[in-house]
Amino acid sequence: MDYDKKVEELLSIITNEIEIKDQKEVKAKRLELVKRIVLRLDEIKDLNLGIANKTLMLVEYTVQSIDDDRKEYFKKYRSMLTHLSENYGLVPKGETSGKYLAIGLTFGTSFGVVFGNMTSNISIGIAIGTGVGLSLGAGIGAKKESELEKANKLL
């Protein structure tokens, strides 16, 4: 089957699934993100047709497994996202800021423990370190995500 026809078919399947499923399931299975990925397949085709065919195949497996067991669906879903990230640098919105938030929180809490031990008041050190780490992580994550958005790398 032709690449463009396959993309149209996947788009109609995912649109239909979004319409017939309840909003809770649509959100849980991240079907809106899968739809945005399908919409970007034309753009991906222009970059490298060989890799684009593999991408199309992974997206097709994911779309076909929507009604499968939740565990199987998310296995295919993660495989698709990993492929998009490794080959095209595409990441879901919020993933980058979440990573930096976690890193900032980790380092901030660690430095807070060290600071608290130096001042003999570990609880204040942890509180200050956690707050500073959270702020820095959120700020850096938001900045990185805006850079990705400008580069059209967010899904």
Give the total residue count for the chain: 155
pLDDT tens digit at each of 155 positions of the chain: 587 788 788 888 888 888 888 888 878 888 888 888 888 877 777 766 677 778 888 888 888 887 878 888 888 888 888 888 888 888 888 888 888 888 888 888 888 888 888 888 888 888 888 888 888 898 998 898 888 888 878 77
Radius of gyration of the chain measured on its C-alpha atoms? 20
pLDDT for 11: 81
Dmax (CA) for the chain in angstroms is 70
Distances (CA, A) of 91 to 73, 82, 88, 130, 145: 19, 9, 9, 27, 9
**Do 131 and 105 meet the contact criterion of CB atoms below 8 Å apart?**
no
Per the domain annotation, does 155 fall within a domain? no
Same domain assignment for residues 72 and 11: yes
Q: How many CA atoms lie within 13 A of 27 on its CB side?
A: 3
Positive or negative: CA dihedral 91, 72, 70, 62: positive
Same domain assignment for residues 104 and 81: no
Q: CA-based angle 4:53:75, to the nearest 5?
A: 110
Same domain assignment for residues 109 and 42: no
pLDDT for 49: 67
pLDDT for 34: 82
Domain that holds residue 141: 95-150
pLDDT for 1: 57
Same domain assignment for residues 25 and 44: yes
